[in-house]
A and B are shown apart, each in its own frame.
Chain A
Amino acid sequence: EVQLVESGGGLVQPGGSLRLSCAASGFSFNNYGMTWVRQAPGKGLEWVSSIGTAGISTHYTDSVRGRFTISRDNSKNTLYLQMNSLRAEDTAVYYCAKKGMTVPSYNWFDPWGQGTLVTVSS
């Protein structure tokens, strides 16, 4: 069974940093691209960042580019999101998700982790 378990969320002050982790199991992690999607309280889904299998190809939404860094450690089956210069508008549940297929251009996601809450507030 594929499992994705996020961790690392919490309360942080504006301007602070957090690193989220997503531990993957039940599939060949190094064969699949991964992504982070966030959901602000009571709001819809917002794609944040995606990474290819080798960690070389990365993409970011404009609002986080230069502040967030996505990475992966295939030896540990773990996806990361380093978040710096956090703002109140980054407050959200952050989900990691696995690409549904190994084809690079097929960027739909299945399954998703349960999410970890990041709250940016003083």
Chain B
Amino acid sequence: EIVMTQSPATLSVSPGERATLSCRASQSVSSNLAWYQQKPGQAPSLLIYGASTRATGIPARFSGSGSGTEFTLTISSLQSEDFAVYYCQQYNNWPLTFGQGAKVEIK
């Protein structure tokens, strides 16, 4: 099983600032990585797939990068609606696995 490790667990950021979240895979997943956002009481929603392709309707302030074992989700200028928990997910191998989540909170 591929273990996905996200860091930091919690990121405190002021609105308008940049946020950078990391996701590390225990073995290469190529570019087969997705990012999801989950707000309290809501289902997760897709942000990024293929490590760097924004899903339909996702603002350009969200960007993904990386390949192999190291990946990054960057939110260039945090808006109030971006404070949430973010998960990475690898789909290179079965079983599919998620990171433990990273919470972006208001500083």
The interface residues of chain A, by DSSP majority, are classed as: strand
A108 touching B46, Cβ below 8 Å:
yes
List B residues 21-57 near A (Cβ within 8 Å).
32, 34, 36, 38, 42-46, 49, 55
Interface size class of A (residues with CB under 8 A): 20 to 34
Q: Which residues of A contact B42 (CB under 8 A)?
A: 114
Interface size class of B (residues with CB under 8 A): 20 to 34
Given A108-B49, A112-B44: A45 touches B94 (CB 8 Å cut-off): no
Q: Which residues of B contact A47 (CB under 8 A)?
A: 89, 95-98
B91 at the interface (CB under 8 A from A): yes
List A residues 72-96 near B (Cβ within 8 Å).
95
6 tightest Cβ-Cβ pairs between the two chains A and B: A107-B91, A110-B46, A108-B34, A112-B43, A47-B96, A108-B49
Chain B residues within 8 Å of A, Cβ to Cβ: 32, 34, 36, 38, 42-46, 49, 55, 87, 89, 91, 94-101
A-B contact pairs, 24 of them (CB 8 A): A35-B96, A44-B87, A44-B100, A45-B38, A45-B44, A47-B97, A47-B98, A50-B96, A59-B95, A61-B95, A95-B44, A100-B55, A106-B49, A106-B91, A107-B96, A108-B34, A108-B89, A108-B91, A110-B46, A110-B49, A111-B45, A112-B45, A114-B42, A114-B43
